[in-house]
Chain A
Amino acid sequence: MKNICFYFEVHQALRLKRYRFFDIGDNHYYYDDFQTEDYLRNLVEEAYLPANRTIAEMIRSSNGKFKCAFSISGISLDLFEQYAPELIDSFRELAQSNTVEFLAEPYAHSLASVFNPQEFELQVKMHSDKIESLFGKRPTAFRNAELIYSDEIGELVANMGYKVMLIDEARHIMGWKSPNFVYRHAYRPKLKLLVRNYKLSDDIAFRFSDHSWKDFPLTAEKYIHWIKNTPPEENIINIWMGYEAIGHFQRQESGIFDFLKAIPYRAMEQEIGFIFPSEAGRRIEAVDSLSVPHPISWSGHEKDLTPWLGNDLQQEALNKLYAVSERVHLCKEHPLKYDWLMLQTSDHFRYMSHKDPFGTYYESAYDAFINYMNVLADFLDRVNAQYPDGIENEELNELIKTINNQEKQIALLEQEIAKLQAAKPVCKRKTN
């Protein structure tokens, strides 16, 4: 039996305000709250809320047969709590129906998996905590920000105990292989990999209302027919996209909501089921392993990391940022930690791309770079104020370790004292 695995990415970044170099050192607030609220409210009202209602209806009309997964970045959840609490409620309702799954991902939708494994693990844990506190369940399947994946990252994820991870269909990795099977990690066979069906996903996300597309108009019947006509042994069709595709890129007027509503019925008619990523990992056997020596993502045709670190500007920004990660980990100050997460969001670096600054609100890559670097300069100054960069990281670590160890040692010694004191009477008895 064939199964469709629907998954939607929900991620919006906080917008940086125009931060001039005169502000460095004077002003430590980096965000344009008005802009953030404005576009977020817009998006929530025209896309996220109606889409959630549609999905609720799909679940109802299919008697709970329809299932889908969401990955909501921690940063977005923070923003929704502040600007659109009703959206959180709406997700909560979906969560209670037990027909949606929430995936784990790094909290800040960051590139930490590439730059700093320690930071990556911290963020994943943070995100799982957040999801659990909001929706009552800890995620068991993992997707990385921008679906970035390599053997190395896969290993990190496997070490954290996840059994399923989501990746994109990169031509140079898949070759002749079909994305419609379950695969496994190159040398950690317990980690199963689900592969996005790039064509069928983009048919909805980008081509649905394109009048020049040869398959326009797309109906649910036609779409399910395509899925039905895949070779019979192919057992999972992964349809993944950014959630804003529903209602924002494809407007309500295009009929996208009605298209979706018709999907469960048409699918059941053809005996096609729906499945969670975690369920797929448990139930479907992997057919082969995939070896990914260099990181891939879900962006562009090359499916590599160039949209975020393809030019000198982006590399400079990222290197400067992650150079202080150890120091920030030592910090306890909450605002600093918050800014640290916000500044890691992958979107900031995407805006600095010359070739593909998707979703940018800057006039040019240079404009984005200037603004970000000014903010970063101020942030680095603040980190420096706590832990001056005159001291080497290792040295600093040693000092901190000594302090931490001191406590442990004291605790250890106290334990010993207690043990010895307890042992005293026994000794006495023996001598007697």
Chain B
Amino acid sequence: MKALMLGWEFPPHILGGLGTASYGLTKSMSQQGDMEITFVIPKPQGDEDQSFLKITGACCVPVVWKENSWEHVNVRIGKLMHPDEYFWLRNGIKYDYRRIYTNDLGCIDFSGRYPDNLLEEISNYEAVVSVLAHQLSFDIIHSHDWLTYPAGVFAKQISGKPLVVHVHATDFDRSRGQVNPIVYGIEKRGMELADHIITVSDLTRRTVIEKYHQHPDKVTTVHNAVEPLKDVDSFVKTPRKDKVVTFLGRITMQKGPEYFVEAAHRVLQKTQKVRFVMAGSGDMMQAMIDLAAQRNIADRFHFTGFLKGREVHQMLAESDVYVMPSVSEPFGISPLEAMQVGTPSIISKQSGCAEILTHAIKTDYWDIEAMADAIYTIVENPAAYRSLRELGREEVNNIRWYDAGLKVRKIYDRLTGAL
């Protein structure tokens, strides 16, 4: 089974949960033996782990025919793509894309991020994929998130192969209801034209069915999982006088940081032995600093700024409680990461991961009293801490990408008629 996967991020250069999920899923699917995956991302850096799949950079695929010598191509993009492949792909140019600005190789420059001209980048990505769709052979197309839906649809029209779209989030999650009509349009068209839709939680599945009007039979939930941490024992908790309660993530409306501050305020009225940490950055950070000052808890409330890589796990491991009060979270992988390093988690019921976790405390995101109560219990009661820590770790270690990969494979098999 050959799959053409269209994505936007791939580790180690990631901006959000999408890259992590793409990695986990593709890696586990490659263990199925007969899976061959080509993963297209806008701009690879050359240091991605390609041991189990092939990564194709959209920025190396020619969309306009330009004459170049083998040596020149080798010098320009040799570390990302073999020049022979470049020349071979060039034969796949069937449409006139001269309207798009291209470089000396006939390739498009991608930022590989989420720039202001994102819509332009999406349509450029679509052009690149048309070349790949003509030239590569594959049995199924798998599009990750709305940025790649137009490309997926185009690839389906060219090749006639079935299209699976994977919904990691919808615009309803990102905007707290203030949906951008252009984004909604792209999402809706992708779902309409897809042969099957995979959602990361039942919560997202409901949104897809109710807000995007898709037939329930066409929508399947495949919950995300978490990659086992190889060096899990290297993250240790330094004993300290005060307990640490952590919020970690983008400080934006979607993540509900203000509820965390309010809950902290409640807890600090009863006990002074707790410190609160808000890790991450985002457009609401300033407002949160102000709010903490207004509530008069700034001496016990700390901001770390943006954390990355190892720092994230270190911060989680150092915490006594991890809180994710997200207003709307399609899945939310960070509580699973916290539980991996043995940190009890409090998550909002409005997050997808609440569907698969038993040994985490679930509250409504707006219910600051329940949240404060849960924080208080964990920091004050060693039995609760121990139970959540040990049973939680055990639970998370049993949530494997391999099982998620098998579910996706089943969908492939059904669509391609292999089953």
Chain A residues close to B by CB (< 8 Å): 20-22, 24, 311-313, 315-317, 354, 363-364, 366-367, 369-370, 373-374
Inter-subunit contact B361/A21 (CB<8 Å): no
Inter-subunit contact B383/A364 (CB<8 Å): no
Evaluate whether A370 and B387 lie within 8 angstroms (CB atoms) in the complex, with A21-B377, A22-B270, A364-B358 already known. no
Inter-subunit contact B269/A370 (CB<8 Å): no
Chain B residues close to A by CB (< 8 Å): 266, 269-270, 358-359, 361-362, 369, 372-374, 376-377, 381-384, 386-388, 391
Report how far A155 CA is from B71 CA in the complex, Å: 94
Write the nearest CB–CB distance from B354 to chain A, whole angstroms. Answer: 10
A-B contact list, 16 entries, CB within 8 Å:
A20-B369, A21-B372, A21-B377, A22-B270, A311-B387, A312-B387, A313-B384, A354-B391, A363-B362, A364-B361, A366-B361, A366-B388, A367-B361, A373-B377, A373-B381, A373-B384
Report how far A316 CA is from B385 CA in the complex, Å: 11
Write the nearest CB–CB distance from A256 to chain B, whole angstroms. Answer: 34
Q: Which residues of A contact B372 (CB under 8 A)?
A: 20-22
What are the nearest 3 A-B pairs in CB distance? A316-B383, A312-B387, A21-B376
Which residue of chain B has the shortest Cβ distance to A370 in the bound complex? B377
Inter-subunit contact B270/A21 (CB<8 Å): yes
Report how far A241 CA is from B369 CA in the complex, Å: 40
Report how far A363 CA is from B358 CA in the complex, Å: 11
Q: Which residues of B contact A367 (CB under 8 A)?
A: 361
Inter-subunit contact B270/A370 (CB<8 Å): no
Report how far A367 CA is from B370 CA in the complex, Å: 9
Inter-subunit contact A20/B384 (CB<8 Å): no
Inter-subunit contact A369/B377 (CB<8 Å): yes
Write the nearest CB–CB distance from B381 to chain A, whole angstroms. Answer: 6
Report how far A370 CA is from B375 CA in the complex, Å: 10
Q: Which residues of A contact B266 (CB under 8 A)?
A: 22
Q: Which residues of B contact A369 (CB under 8 A)?
A: 377, 384
Inter-subunit contact B373/A313 (CB<8 Å): no
Report how far A364 CA is from B384 CA in the complex, Å: 13
Inter-subunit contact A21/B373 (CB<8 Å): yes
Evaluate whether A374 and B373 lie within 8 angstroms (CB atoms) in the complex, with A22-B266, A312-B386, A369-B384 already known. yes
Inter-subunit contact B270/A364 (CB<8 Å): no
Report how far A317 CA is from B388 CA in the complex, Å: 15
Q: Which residues of B contact A311 (CB under 8 A)?
A: 387
Q: Which residues of B contact A316 (CB under 8 A)?
A: 381-384
Counting chain B CB atoms within 10 Å of each CB, which of A21, A312, A313, A364 scores highest? A21
Q: Which residues of A contact B377 (CB under 8 A)?
A: 21, 369-370, 373-374
Report how far A24 CA is from B372 CA in the complex, Å: 14
Which residue of chain A has the shortest Cβ distance to B388 in the bound complex? A366
Write the nearest CB–CB distance from A18 to chain B, whole angstroms. Answer: 9
Report how far A374 CA is from B369 CA in the complex, Å: 13
Report how far A156 CA is from B14 CA in the complex, Å: 66
Report how far A88 CA is from B201 CA in the complex, Å: 51
Write the nearest CB–CB distance from A107 to chain B, whole angstroms. Answer: 27
Inter-subunit contact B269/A313 (CB<8 Å): no
Write the nearest CB–CB distance from B271 to chain A, whole angstroms. Answer: 9
Which residue of chain A has the shortest Cβ distance to B346 in the bound complex? A366
Inter-subunit contact B383/A312 (CB<8 Å): yes
Which residue of chain A has the shortest Cβ distance to B386 in the bound complex? A312
Report how far A370 CA is from B383 CA in the complex, Å: 11
Inter-subunit contact A315/B383 (CB<8 Å): yes
Q: Which residues of A contact B381 (CB under 8 A)?
A: 316, 373
Report how far A262 CA is from B28 CA in the complex, Å: 61
Inter-subunit contact A313/B383 (CB<8 Å): yes
Q: Which residues of B contact A370 (CB under 8 A)?
A: 361, 373-374, 377, 384
Evaluate whether A313 and B387 lie within 8 angstroms (CB atoms) in the complex, with A363-B362, A366-B361, A370-B377 already known. yes
Inter-subunit contact A366/B376 (CB<8 Å): no
Q: Which residues of B contact A312 (CB under 8 A)?
A: 383, 386-387
Evaluate whether A20 and B361 lie within 8 angstroms (CB atoms) in the complex, with A313-B383, A354-B391, A370-B384 already known. no
